[in-house]
Amino acid sequence: TTGGTDTYDITQRRSTAEIIDGVRTPIWGYDGILPGPTLVTRRGRRTVVRHRNELPVPTVVHLHGGHNAPRHDGYPTDQILPTSGAHHGPHHGDGDLSRGTRSYTYDTDQRAATLWYHDHRMDFTGPSVWRGLAGLHLITDDEERALPFPDGDRDLPLVIMDRSFDQDGGLRYPSVDADLTATPGVTSPYEAGVLGDVILVNGTAWPYREVDAVRHRLRLLNASNARRYRLRLDPAPDGVDEPLVQVASDGGLLARPLTHPYVDLASAERQEVVVDFSRYRVGQRVRLVNDFGEGPTRQVMEFRIARRAKDESHVPSELSVIEPLDAGRAVRERDMVFRSEAIGDRHGWTINGEPFSVDHIHAAPRLGDTEIWNLYADFHHPIHLHLVHFQVLGRGTKKPGRFDHGWKDTLDLRPTEQARIITRFDGHRGKYVFHCHNLEHEDMMMMGNFEVR
């Protein structure tokens, strides 16, 4: 089951998608679809993805959650120029420019997990992802496949994103949402990031799906630029307070399942839950709702319970082994402060007072070092590190939060909060970014470099 290479070809191009019934919306899509094609690869097999850029702008492909060499990680200036040759835009820093096509090689030497790929071009990640450049990349391994989880069409990846539309059905960026201006301390709506008022699941606005009355695995990905969700089944099954059985997070399986009444997802976070639809009546409609939304952004999708069926799946009480990283082994601690600051005569989002620059290195861990990072925030910032997964040691003086278990690559840092994470910088030397995954904050410079030496 190890060795070998899987090769995929993806063309980034303009096309249209039927997001809203009967309306053709122009998008930029991987293979012209939204979300892009789902890649499924096995641990131990190398994956080569050849991207061809037929879009009018340069692009960068990043595999979010991937443990890859720097030149295959999608550094923000490491661009694929358009095939058309029409672009003569500026070129930032030390980017390695390639015209038209580029192959990314992923070793896939990492645990089974729900990863995703998306555009990462410097200063333009927000608008490019908004136009459609995002897709799933699932990694499987023997450990995960041996578990009796629901599979086949009972394993449902749900890519959740919000968008706004203009009169003609085009995507509108940026847009303003009522709850933005209501955020205390936020003076301009745009500062909270771009929010849409239509919720898409797998590229369709407020879809429904017929499901058998059996267990399903839901792989929830928040692919929104800036919106946070609190997801729950409505109604909850009779007599069950915590119907969402979480089995995995960003970095794959948890050690043991956790039950929740709802799950919170900040931008880029993944949570996988098993839900048991046999607790509902045939014909019943069960909504997935977002308690952080209002009006249209409250509704996410609907499940329609179609028929009874045989179900041999279950969730074992032990899923995997996760060795806790030992804080006593950390060779250093660093503070990373994520906040808004004046930069010259304008304002920007910074890390330790520095707006993103390709030359400023915030941290230079040695290969193999274990480090503790103390993350501080002035506002909501989902913090993401490339290359590594981390464990959460605590939030302020408290224990890790309800959704902080297992291996994470993105952590929802709440206003004025501090979180303590621990990670080992392993596998590759080189320069990687870490950043706020509110894509408008990222584009407005809330990104830094760490260089593994």
From the list 151, 64, 22, 93, the residue with the least C-alpha distance to 434 is: 64
Identify what 438 binds: Cu ion, ligand C2O, none; CB under 5 to 8 Å per kind.
Cu ion
Q: What is the DSSP letter of 278?
A: G
Q: How far is the CB of 268 from ligand C2O (least distance, A)?
A: 5
Q: Residues 257-276: x/- map of binding to ligand C2O (CB under 6 A)?
A: -----------x--------
Q: Which residue's Cβ has the minimum distance to ligand C2O? A: 64
279 binds ligand C2O (CB under 6 A): no
Residue of 42, 45, 51, 64 interacting with Cu ion (CB under 5 A): 64
Q: Which stretch binds ligand C2O (CB under 6 A): 53-61, 315-323, 411-419, 430-438?
A: 430-438
Size of the site for ligand C2O (CB under 6 A): 10
From the list 364, 428, 371, the residue with the least C-alpha distance to 106 is: 428
Residue of 43, 51, 381, 424 interacting with Cu ion (CB under 5 A): 381
Q: How far is the CB of 441 from Cu ion (least distance, A)?
A: 3
384 binds ligand C2O (CB under 6 A): yes
The kind and range of the H/E element at 441 are: helix 439-443
62 binds ligand C2O (CB under 6 A): yes
Amino acid at 33: I
E strand segments, 223-353 = 229-234, 244-249, 252-260, 263-265, 270-276, 285-290, 299-305, 332-343, 346-351
Amino acid at 127: P
67 binds ligand C2O (CB under 6 A): no
Q: How far is the CB of 7 from ligand C2O (least distance, A)?
A: 23
Q: How many angstroms separate the Cα of 371 from the Cα of each of 4, 322, 323, 334, 393?
A: 34, 18, 16, 8, 12
64 binds ligand C2O (CB under 6 A): yes
386 binds Cu ion (CB under 5 A): yes
Q: Which is nearer to ligand C2O, 123 or 291 (CB)?
A: 123
362 binds ligand C2O (CB under 6 A): no
Instruction: Give the C-alpha separation, 402 to 208, whole Å.
Output: 29
Q: How far is the CB of 385 from Cu ion (least distance, A)?
A: 8
Q: Which stretch binds Cu ion (CB under 5 A): 205-213, 217-225, 377-385, 415-423?
A: 377-385
Q: Which stretch binds ligand C2O (CB under 6 A): 282-290, 294-302, 368-376, 429-437?
A: 429-437
- Are the C-beta atoms of residues 63 and 117 closer than 8 Å to each other? yes
Checking phi first, is residue 374 left (phi over 0); if not, alpha (psi -120 to 50) or beta? beta
**In degrees, to the nearest 5, what angle opens at C-alpha 231 toward C-alphas 226 and 232?**
170
Residue of 232, 386, 424, 431 interacting with ligand C2O (CB under 6 A): 386
Checking phi first, is residue 132 left (phi over 0); if not, alpha (psi -120 to 50) or beta? left
From the list 240, 222, 241, 262, the residue with the least C-alpha distance to 409 is: 222
Q: How far is the CB of 220 from ligand C2O (least distance, A)?
A: 15
Q: Which is nearer to Cu ion, 1 or 357 (CB)?
A: 357
Q: How far is the CB of 411 from Cu ion (least distance, A)?
A: 12
441 binds Cu ion (CB under 5 A): yes
Q: Which stretch binds Cu ion (CB under 5 A): 7-15, 202-210, 225-233, 383-391?
A: 383-391
118 binds ligand C2O (CB under 6 A): yes
What residues numbered 270-309 form the site for Cu ion, per CB under 5 A?
Answer: none
Instruction: Give the C-alpha separation, 381 to 342, whole Å.
Output: 18
Which of 166-188 are b and which e, b meaning 16 or more Cβ less than 10 Å from the residue's Cβ?
eeebbbbbbbebeebeeeeeeee
Residue of 111, 120, 131, 217 interacting with ligand C2O (CB under 6 A): 120
Amino acid at 284: Q
**What values do phi and psi take at 278, rounded to 5?**
-70, -10
Residue of 53, 68, 438, 449 interacting with Cu ion (CB under 5 A): 438
**Measured between alpha carbons, how far apart are the two ends of the chain, in Å?**
32
Residues in CB range of 353: below 8 A, 6 or more apart: 337, 341
Adjacent-strand bridge partners of 222 = 160
**What values do phi and psi take at 277, rounded to 5?**
-75, -5
Identify what 43 binds: Cu ion, ligand C2O, none; CB under 5 to 8 Å per kind.
none
Q: How far is the CB of 385 from ligand C2O (least distance, A)?
A: 9
- Sites of contact with ligand C2O (CB under 6 A): 62, 64, 118, 120, 268, 384, 386, 433, 435, 437
Residues that bind Cu ion (CB under 5 A): 64, 381, 386, 436, 438, 441
